[in-house]
Amino acid sequence: MKALRYLGYAVSILVLIAMAGAAFIHFDGIPSYTPHPPVLKVQGDSAMIAEGKRLATMVCNNCHMAQNGKLEGKEMLDLPTMFGKVYTANITQHPQFGISTYTDGELAYFLRTGVKRDGQYVPPWMPKFVHLSDYDLNSIIAYLRSDAPELQPSEAVHPKPQPTFLAKFLSHTAFKPLPFPTAPIPEPDKSNKVAFGKYLATGKVECFGCHSASFETMDLMEPEKTVGYFGGGNAMPNLEGEIILTRNLTPDKETGIGNWTEAQFMETVRFGKRPNGQQTRYPMPPYAAMTEEEASAIWAYLQTIPPIKNKIE
């Protein structure tokens, strides 16, 4: 019977530890880390600013642009409720409510790793740009500093994120800041169409996160190791809270886009017009700012990935 009593003690201790752990996570919230921003001063010329602006329309504005056309942040209505209530940040040049106090190095560090200048880590409700070339990253920074009207100071202030216990728990276990690259990231070789398409689909515009099985099993460091890579099926809420499943973009003939033509693909991606005449629905953005050359390169890359049989209704 002694053994049983000891077992009882052991279980109580384990329960206490688990409760203390849960309480710790609850009160600690989303963790902070010490940022190590690089020394960086972006010398942006007009070509870089224009490229940064174009890139922002494809990868930032969807989340950060408010009704009034300014990048002053808003409530993220499409965040699954199991993660909580979150507002995107005011990224205009306001000294107090925007981001003009960030140095270029701090911005680069945040965009790559997810750690803000004050150390606060931002969970996957904002993407991280790990594979973006230094030139493209610097273009975004040059743009954020530019005199574009949508970035002029706005006083919009939003409530702090209200993460659920699940979001906090995952931020203590699964979600971690990404490593800051230790070597420069060169521009992709545009003459190699497949490589350029891969860069666009996994680094610059990042189609693969939405278009694979789930954000929870996405491998940001090595995108091709993502579960169900480009096989679709990721369940995403639209702004009304309805679930829209992402599509299978692998070259499978029955369930993917194996029977599409390149022209149909380009029309769908750039203008949201599918071959059957239906518009693509939110959250699939029409990438109007994408060039034909880019859409064609993504198509070329998608032809080279393993087909996955996954019928999306």
The contact set with ligand HEC (CB under 6 A) reads 56, 59-60, 62-64, 76, 86, 88-89, 91, 99, 110, 116, 122, 125-127, 140, 161, 201, 205, 207, 210-211, 236, 244, 246-247, 249, 265, 268-269, 274, 280-281, 283-284, 287, 298
For residue 217, the SS3 value is: helix
Distance of closest approach, residue 282 Cβ to ligand HEC, in angstroms: 8
Nearer to ligand HEC, 10 or 190 (CB): 190
Distance of closest approach, residue 191 Cβ to ligand HEC, in angstroms: 21
Nearer to ligand HEC, 12 or 217 (CB): 217
Distance of closest approach, residue 11 Cβ to ligand HEC, in angstroms: 37
**Under 8 Å CB-to-CB from 50, ≥6 apart: which residues?**
none
Nearer to ligand HEC, 7 or 228 (CB): 228
What angle is formed at CA 11 by the lines to CA 10 and CA 12, rounded to 5 degrees?
90
The whole-angstrom separation of Cα 246 and Cα 283 is 9
Distance of closest approach, residue 76 Cβ to ligand HEC, in angstroms: 5
> Are 256 and 308 spatial neighbours (Cβ–Cβ below 8 Å)?
yes
Nearer to ligand HEC, 18 or 292 (CB): 292
- Secondary-structure percent of the chain, ordered helix, strand, coil, rounded to 5: 40, 5, 55
User: Among 256, 232, 257, which Cα is nearest to 246's?
Assistant: 232
Nearer to ligand HEC, 1 or 149 (CB): 149
Q: Within 10 Å of residue 11's Cβ, how many Cβ atoms?
A: 10
> Helices 46-59 and 134-144 sit at what angle, rounded to 10 degrees?
90
Nearer to ligand HEC, 64 or 179 (CB): 64
Nearer to ligand HEC, 12 or 254 (CB): 254
Distance of closest approach, residue 50 Cβ to ligand HEC, in angstroms: 15
The whole-angstrom separation of Cα 289 and Cα 241 is 27
Distance of closest approach, residue 306 Cβ to ligand HEC, in angstroms: 17
Tokens of 6: 């000891």
**Under 8 Å CB-to-CB from 41, ≥6 apart: which residues?**
104
Distance of closest approach, residue 119 Cβ to ligand HEC, in angstroms: 10
